[in-house]
């Protein structure tokens, strides 16, 4: 039996995995919905809309009206691009996690967020130096589907699926990894519910960034 090469690369989601974006995202959604003439209650829970591609996120708020979804995304970005992306916080333990894991693996960001926004967030919060590259969607929605984005990432990086691991907080992260034959684990501090992650087929959930160790990553199935 031929041994496969050891895993070399960890792909990290951004929102809900490295940073807690709730304040900026919720305020930007509220701005958009108010401008659309469809304001939501002050205590509306935007958590289900954090993580999916923007068209899916707005469909949860606007229904299936394609024109209204398009307008909503533009209005959301009107605020998010200048204010909302900085209304954010790095989860406790993430800096140490990245130093620890980055000593043995190459680290890449794999996010449905537009890569321009992702880079600005990583720079602002002192996370950019940990990553070799940032992969995200285009503003027109190209590669906002995480499975397609991950396939493109693997091809661009010349990575075999068994060389990579995906770490994220939502079902989209787990399903994308499964679609590409990539090992995966969920994080328990983000926005995916335990039920959602189980339904997606996650094999392991890290409860805290301190639990994400080199040995734990190599042990993933």
Same domain, 153 and 214: yes
Same domain, 116 and 62: no
Last residue of a domain, one of 38, 71, 86: 86
Q: Tell me the pLDDT tens digit for each residue of 74-93.
A: 999 999 999 999 999 999 99
Which of 188, 187, 108 is CA-nearest to residue 152? 108
Q: Which residues are catalytic?
A: 13
What b/e readout covers 148-161, taking b as 16+ CB neighbours within 10 angstroms? ebbbebbeebebee
**Range(s) of the domain holding residue 140:** 9-20+89-219
Q: What whole-number distance in Å separates Cα of residue 93 and Cα of residue 151?
A: 29
Same domain, 99 and 161: yes
Same domain, 44 and 96: no
Which runs of E-coded beta strand occur in 64-105? 89-90
- The secondary structure of residue 91, as a DSSP letter, is P
Same domain, 198 and 165: yes
Q: Tell me the pLDDT tens digit for each residue of 83-137.
A: 999 999 999 999 999 999 999 999 999 999 999 999 999 999 999 999 999 999 9
Phi, psi of 164 (to 5 degrees): -120, 160
């Amino acid at each position: 039996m031929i041994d496969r090469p050891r895993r070399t690369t960890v792909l990290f989601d951004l929102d809900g995995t490295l940073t807690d974006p709730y304040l900026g995202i919720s305020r930007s959604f509220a701005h958009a919905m108010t401008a659309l003439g469809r304001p939501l209650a002050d205590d509306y829970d935007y958590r289900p809309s954090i993580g999916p591609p923007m068209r899916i996120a707005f469909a949860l708020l606007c229904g299936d009206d394609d024109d209204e979804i398009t307008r909503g995304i533009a209005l959301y970005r009107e605020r998010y691009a200048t204010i909302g992306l900085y209304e954010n916080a790095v989860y406790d333990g993430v800096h140490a996690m990245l130093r620890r894991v980055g000593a043995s693996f190459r680290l890449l960001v794999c996010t449905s967020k537009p890569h321009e926004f992702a880079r600005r967030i990583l720079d602002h919060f002192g996370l950019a130096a940990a990553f070799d590259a940032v992969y995200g969607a285009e503003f027109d929605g190209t590669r906002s589907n995480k499975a397609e984005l991950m396939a493109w990432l693997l091809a661009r990086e010349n990575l075999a699926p068994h060389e990579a691991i995906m770490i994220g907080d939502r079902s989209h992260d787990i399903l994308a990894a499964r679609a590409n034959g990539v090992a995966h684990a969920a994080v328990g501090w983000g926005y995916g519910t335990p039920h959602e992650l189980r339904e997606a087929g996650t094999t392991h959930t890290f409860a805290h960034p301190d639990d994400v160790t080199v040995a734990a990553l190599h042990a993933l199935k």
